[in-house]
Chains A and B, each alone.
Chain A
Amino acid sequence: MNFAEQNPDAIQNIVIAGGGTAGWMTAAALANALGKTCAIQLVESAEIGTVGVGEATIPHIQRFNEMLGVDENEFMRKTRATFKLGIEFVDWKQKGQRYMHPFGSYGDDIAAIPFHHHWLKLFRAGLAPKLEEFSLTTRAAYANKFMRPLDIPDSPLSTFSYAFQFDAGLYAAFLRDYAETRDVKRIEGKIAQVKLRAHDGFIESLLLENGELMEGDLFIDCTGFRGLLIEQALHTGYEDWSSWLPCDRAIAVPCANTETLTPYTRATAHTAGWQWRIPLQHRTGNGHVYSSQFMSDDEACAILLKNLDNEPLADPKPLRFTAGKRKKMWVNNCVAIGLASGFMEPLESTSIHLIQTAITRLISLFPSRAFHQREIDFYNEHCAYEYERIRDFLILHYKATERADSPFWNHCREMEIPQYLRDKITLFQNSGRIYRENDELFSVTSWLAVFEGQGIKANAYHPLADKMSVEELQARLADYQKVLRKCTSLMPAHGDYIQQNCRSV
């Protein structure tokens, strides 16, 4: 049955402008969701490089894989992926200090009160082991161990989560293959002009340099920073967040990987930014994110090269950006996904996640040719909220520092921060409480990890944590540590696990 027979207003042609991670994730997901009801075309040019944003992900990507029905081991083999249990932050609070932002949680709730209140109680009595002692994924990460969660009732081994670190170029190729076998048509070409309908400013077609005209009902802008459709044609405008997130440049370089495959990403703070380290099966990805206001490109490159595990495998590749987001991500019949919709540094590996949520949100609000404005507004409101909450979480990493060794850190420490973040910090300091509001991405665990890791202390804890005596709590926590120690000891080495399950050949 043809969908259009049912609904004359149905979208029948979708044009995706640009390939890359965003373009091909969108193509794959829409092909899967829409089936044969809709023709999907994607235009990209082999001459235009992709940024290959964020090679590290967060656990939500498993849902994307599930949605596509992708076999995880096959996906990992094809993208030379490793497993990821968290992000290690080095030198952020102060030089020489490190902490893990783990996936999964700390401890178990006790009598419906979150674990950390009980931990805080012991901590304030001077009796608490380090918070990280209560995170299975932190223990496993530091021991370079990994296994997928098991189904064992109440075991910590059944409740943690994990993500992947992969080659974004290979990921795009993997999804291109997926999309093309599901009838997405790839067109090689460069976009010369975006043609708008005169009467309402909707996009009518894309004119390619070779003269071909691509017409469509719905256009997805995956053209990266430039925002060829959303910005250059539709002049949507950009919200600049660089007063809070001053880094505006990055320089990336791969190097040979180390013998031990670490199951986590590392973010090491430097004097005017930070450096990522993402271990893959075949190489380690590195990059230095910095602020051009506080550091020259040459110095940034020198710092990067000095801090590699091994010899570089390619020439360093520079990138420029402005932290912020498009004022609207959906305008008329154009939806911007990926870097065309905004940019936040990959400090918490959120780039691919933002592509994923944009796609799932688009599918859930999938329009007809009527393009009702209320739905578009709704989409934009939700995207904006999501972006802003991630932004606030990123700002926390810069703001909550004791570093005073460079003008950059002095600036960050002293800067004004958004109201939402201020309130979140104050609530925690006053009462130990952390609330996850609406659809904000980062969980209580995430906020707690960064608060604790960067020196923000709570001065109180939940009053109901006093139901249990200090001695009872100590015994309970000691038991929990014992369980975690045992769980960790029984996990295989990360490298061995990959070898046995998903080694790329």
Chain B
Amino acid sequence: MSINSIAIVGDSLAGWTAAAVLAKHFAQQIKISVLEIPVPDDALAESAMPSLREFHRLLKINEREFFQATDATFKLATHYRDWLRPNHSYWLGVGDCGKTLDGVEFQHYANLLRQIGDSTAYDAYSLTVQAARKGKFNPLSKDQQAAGFQLPYAMHLDTASYKRMLRDYAKALGVTAISGELAQTELTLESGKLGQLQVDFFIDCTGAAGKLIEYIAPDELAQESPGCDRRLSWSEPSPADVPNHTTLRAHDFGWQKTIPLRTCTHHQYFYKSEFLSDEQALDIVKHQTTADVQLAQLRPGYRRNSWVKNCLALGEAANGSGQLGVSNLHLVHSGILRFIELFPSVASPAFAQEYNRLTALEYERIAHFQHLPFALSQRTVPGFWHASKTLVLPDELNHGINLFKQRGNIASYEQETFSPSAWAALFLAHECWPDKYDPQLNAIKLEQLQTHTARMRAGIQNVVAAMPSHTDYLRVYCDQ
């Protein structure tokens, strides 16, 4: 099969992301069109991951212009509230916590210190969390970078305006936008026909509905991990001081996500319809806001085969679990880049097979990461939390927990999205401290370790103290 034309179906962020990156790679060789059928369930805002910056570098999108166009803010961390138990909170920063010392990962040192009674919070060693807690931001100076500091970050963005930005980008590279609706009768994909459109390959970006992929390969989504199938969204004007973190606050029926943009803060109330009716949920939300509230149906879980024949499902059509820990946008990036890597220039089922194998591994690992907070939560309310907590743990996750509890080792698997440091931070945030410590530390000199860790903490505090507020930085940055 030689591919000369691709139709991307769905006027979604996933669709225009795919269009932009495909156009960047193949504009001269392949005819790319986007069938702009509405995808009403697209979230209004995204809390992205640092991979978005790599994506922008790839596309040579100017970051400042991106901020100016999308009401974006910087994101340094996520604040998890009431997650382990009510009135408990923890922060997970973008990037790693602490520095590797003598080839041993930092969590092992923190674990050892904990075992001799140290009460220092693990995130005291995370520059991103410390800056996020204080609402501060500034890129690091050369000196600070030379001193070993890192400040990886992600962004919060407005989906509609970002989609417009990518649409302009793709159209400038020759992508055709076709407006329209999709009727079931039009679908004859195997012959490459979609209504009037005749192409070699389809990319399904129609959101949770998966209108194309469901048609050619109806599939029960794999869902072994807890998740929500409803989302209520609304937005409010942002406060004068705009936070540079996402908030995920657990509630009895799910959780609420808050994504702060420069002018507008988006709220998403996730819940599971099994335990809470839409009316009840709306009632709860109406106590919080007088704004318009939109309801979306979600399909948590992921498709085992997202590439079937000449159709690739992307975004929520492939994986609807980008609600916690991972962003939908990240899944779109990883999917489309993997597709380009395995682009089927030769007619062979091997490309799709490999794509599906790797993607399923990736999704499975993400699902385990998302499952962990539920497995470790101490929330005992019947309904959502009880059901989530008592869900059978997948063997790999079970093994990972047991391994960590011994002395802090992280089980490593193929196609892992999260670094060992991120896994460790998640375990430790849930007060899951190992019994023993790594034997590589047996000969450690505590006096040196104490000096070292104190210096790390002080260094972080100094860097944060010198930063301007996120709001001030953002204003100057965007007004230039």
Q: Which residues of A line the B interface, CB within 8 A?
A: 147-148, 150-157, 482-483, 486-487, 490-491
**Cβ B119 vs Cβ A157 within 8 A:** no
Shortest distance between the CB of A428 and any CB in chain B (Å) = 28
* CB-based nearest B residue for A154: B119
Shortest distance between the CB of B179 and any CB in chain A (Å) = 62
User: Is B178 an interface position by the 8 A CB rule?
Assistant: no
User: Is B291 an interface position by the 8 A CB rule?
Assistant: no
A483 to B118, CA, bound (A): 10
Of B116, B447, B450, B454, which one neighbours A483 at CB under 8 angstroms? B116
Within 8 A of A (CB), among B104-143: 113, 115-120
| Residues of A with C-beta under 8 A to B115 | 482-483, 486
**Cβ A152 vs Cβ B447 within 8 A:** no
| Residues of B with C-beta under 8 A to A482 | 115
| Residues of A with C-beta under 8 A to B447 | 147-148, 150
| Residues of A with C-beta under 8 A to B117 | 152, 154-157, 483, 487
Scoring B116, B118, B454 by chain A CB atoms within 10 A of each residue's CB, the highest score goes to B116
User: Is B444 an interface position by the 8 A CB rule?
Assistant: yes
| Residues of B with C-beta under 8 A to A490 | 116, 444, 446
What 8 A-B pairs come out closest when comparing CB atoms?
A: A155-B117, A154-B119, A150-B450, A483-B117, A487-B116, A152-B118, A486-B115, A153-B119
A491 to B445, CA, bound (A): 9
Known: A483-B115, A486-B115. A152 touches B120 (CB 8 A): yes
Q: Which residues of B line the A interface, CB within 8 A?
A: 113, 115-120, 444, 446-447, 450, 454
Of B119, B444, B454, which one neighbours A151 at CB under 8 angstroms? B454
A156 to B117, CA, bound (A): 6
A172 to B326, CA, bound (A): 69
* CB-based nearest A residue for B454: A151
* CB-based nearest B residue for A491: B446
**Cβ B446 vs Cβ A150 within 8 A:** yes
* CB-based nearest A residue for B444: A490
| Residues of B with C-beta under 8 A to A157 | 116-117, 446
| Residues of A with C-beta under 8 A to B454 | 151
Shortest distance between the CB of A477 and any CB in chain B (Å) = 14
A483 to B119, CA, bound (A): 12
**Cβ A153 vs Cβ B116 within 8 A:** no
* CB-based nearest B residue for A150: B450
19 new A-B pairs (CB below 8 Å) besides A152-B113, A156-B116, A487-B117?
A147-B447, A148-B447, A150-B446, A150-B447, A151-B450, A152-B116, A152-B117, A153-B118, A155-B116, A155-B117, A155-B118, A155-B119, A156-B117, A157-B116, A482-B115, A486-B115, A486-B116, A490-B116, A490-B444
Shortest distance between the CB of B322 and any CB in chain A (Å) = 38
| Residues of A with C-beta under 8 A to B444 | 490
A482 to B454, CA, bound (A): 24
Shortest distance between the CB of A390 and any CB in chain B (Å) = 32
| Residues of B with C-beta under 8 A to A483 | 115-117
Q: Can you pick out 25 interface pairs between chain A and chain B where the beta carbons lie within 8 Å of each other?
A: A147-B447, A148-B447, A150-B447, A150-B450, A151-B450, A151-B454, A152-B113, A152-B116, A152-B117, A152-B118, A152-B120, A152-B450, A154-B119, A155-B113, A155-B119, A156-B116, A156-B117, A157-B117, A157-B446, A483-B116, A486-B115, A486-B116, A490-B116, A490-B444, A490-B446
Shortest distance between the CB of B459 and any CB in chain A (Å) = 16
